[in-house]
Amino acid sequence: MKRLLLIVLSLGMTALLYISCTDSFLETTNENSVNSNTFYQTPEDALASVNSAYAMLQAHGLWGRSIFFLLDFAGKEVGTTANTQGPPLELLNHTYTSSGNTHITTPWSNIYDMISKANSTILNVSEMENIDQGLQSRIIAESQFLRGLGYFYINAIYGGGPLRTEENLEEINLPRSSAEEIWTQVENDLSAAFPNLPAKGEYSEADIGRATSGAARALLGKAHLYQEEWSDAETQFQAVIGSGNYHLIQADEFGSDPVAAMRSNHDPNVGNNDEAVFEVQFSAGTGFGWSTDGTGLNETSIRPQEYGVNGFAFYNATPASDLIDAYNSDDPRLEAFYFGPNSTYQGEPYPFEQDGWAWKKYQKTDEAEQSESNANMDVIRYADVLLMMAEAKIQQGQVAEGVEYINQVRRRADPSGTILPDRATSASQQQAMEFLIEERRLELAGEQTRFFDLVRWGIAAEELSTFQEGKHEVFPIPQDEINANTEISQEDQNPGY
């Protein structure tokens, strides 16, 4: 599904789809426009509707651009360059407020746009008659997955927000729901979605990249993990692991080269491999849209251009020096994930002495970056699932089993075991958690997990020098939302903002 069929369903159009006609000439339906009488009539309409929700993942405020600044910078996984300034620098230094930082405000609006489009699809497709029931159930399940994904990030980023579903679509103003209420919605959506979604490998070639049962269960497990519901998280992760549909990409698939194997997970020329659980799909050739409302054909990510190599990209971020220092100096992941002293770029030795370390994840190696990258962006991959399973096991006291999941990830990086020997399964629970904390940092660097991890482990203030405990665990509710929503006041703002 590299090229999603996009339709623009703005909030105004979404609202229109629920308004029934009356005798008033002011509410007469224009039969020549897209409306509730002319749309949701065919299977193609149903697919276009859910595709419009998927399209928001590609938007400027999400995996098109801002989500990387928001989470990588706030988690201090990046170092600055001469080009690092403005909103990204505020995130790095935790000096942002409730207004003015577009990397905080735009994700909020784009997430709720996605939720709105998912709600529209759920409501209207469920009432369609001229559609195969299997396809109807799948489209509704895809929409439930996307809504669950949206609310997962509303909780993880902002600590809660208005709860909009197909049940209250006519309500313009809604109060802020608690994090607990949002988590319940996430769990309900994903639990309803996964039984009706195809497994990985069951979609046609044209539909690869859509939500799968494995993606829904992995995200459901992650939601339980974030709430410290260890047993429930384990149940979902075990279903993903036991499905046999995923595996770590191994060195023997690339001529015994672990660097090439790991590189394949973030190579712009490779997408949806056997390690991918859910990726945001991108395609080159459609242009990058700087508008922030998610409209139009915007199927490319600018993240590689933002993080790219000095002289060949915007070069707004490098890997943080303490991140690089955290690796064993011989760890193959250094070469797989970063341009370093042994790297080549565009067929020439990378100028490490001049420029130092640079990001290689999602970057081109054979040509300069453009503003139109076709690199798919990871939301969850199988290595993440294994490490989350490790955490669930360790937290339940099943230390040896948990450490073995950590070792699977280490063995993939170093099949010889000479550089990254197995962690001891006889470790204490505290030692095992230290293993887990380190491994998640090294394996998932630059994949928007570090900030959330530090917060939920309660160690963000220790690891992030400018992090203020009791404030920076979540980002502020955008002031525009408070100003526009009569059911939300300044008293609903997160502490410290």
Report the CATH number at residue 436.
1.25.40.390
Name the β-bridge partners of 318: 79
Q: Is the Cβ–Cβ distance between 167 and 179 less than 8 Å?
A: no
Task: Quote the CA–CA distance of 47 and 1 in Å, as a whole number.
Answer: 12
Total residue length of the chain = 497
pTM (2 d.p.): 0.92
| Helix (H/G/I), strand (E/B), else coil: 326 | coil
Strand partners for 301: 373
**What letter would DSSP give residue 72?**
I
Sign of the CA dihedral running 86, 440, 2, 5: negative
Which of 199, 126, 210, 129 minimizes the C-alpha distance to 165? 126
At position 344, the amino acid (one-letter code) is: T
Give me the pLDDT at residue 299, please: 79
pLDDT (0 to 100) of residue 261 = 98
The answer to whether residue 331 is domain-embedded is no
The amino acid present at 283, given as its one-letter code, is S
Residue closest to 380 by CA, chosen among 241, 473, 284, 244: 241
The token pair at 385 is 């699932």
Is the residue at 356 inside a domain?
no
Q: Is residue 258 part of a domain?
A: yes
Coil, helix or strand at residue 242: helix
The total of structural domains in the chain comes to 1
Closest-CA residue to 403 (of 431, 445, 382, 381): 431
Question: Nearest to residue 412, comparing CAs of 272, 256, 237?
Answer: 256
| pLDDT, position 18 | 32
Q: Would you state the pLDDT for residue 33?
A: 57
Q: Which amino acid is located at 363 in the chain?
A: Q
Closest to 268 in 3D by CA, of 478, 33, 16, 2: 2
Q: Assess if residue 493 is contained within a domain.
A: no
Does residue 148 lie within any of the structural domains?
Answer: yes
Contacts 24+ apart (CB under 8 A), 251-256: 251/412, 251/415, 252/415, 256/415
Which distant-in-sequence residues (6+ apart) come within 8 Å of 235 by Cβ? 221
pLDDT computed for residue 36 by the predictor: 60
b/e sequence 58-94, b meaning 16+ C-beta within 10 Å: bbbbbbbbbbbbbbbbbbbbbbbbeebeebbebbbbb
């699977």: which residue's tokens?
408
- Compute CA 457 distance to the chain's CA centroid, rounded to the nearest angstrom: 20
Asked, for residue 275, whether it belongs to a domain, the answer is yes
| Residue whose structure tokens are 């063995």 | 411
Task: Return the structure tokens found at 429.
Answer: 């629970």
CA distances (Å), origin 131, targets 17, 43, 46, 95: 18, 6, 9, 51
How confident is the prediction along the chain (497 residues), in pLDDT tens digits per residue?
Answer: 543 433 333 333 333 333 233 233 233 344 555 666 789 999 999 999 999 999 999 998 999 999 999 999 999 999 999 999 999 999 999 999 999 999 999 999 999 999 999 999 999 999 999 999 999 999 999 999 999 999 999 999 999 999 999 999 889 999 999 999 999 999 999 999 999 999 999 999 999 999 999 999 999 999 999 999 999 999 999 999 999 999 999 999 999 999 999 999 999 999 999 999 999 999 876 666 555 555 545 678 889 999 999 999 999 999 999 999 999 999 999 999 999 999 999 999 999 999 999 999 999 999 998 878 889 999 999 999 999 999 999 999 999 999 999 999 999 999 999 999 999 999 999 999 999 999 999 999 999 999 999 999 999 999 999 999 999 999 999 999 999 999 999 999 999 99
Q: Which residue has the tokens 């698939």?
A: 253
Parent domain of 58: 11-292+379-468
Give me 227's structure tokens. 């709430």
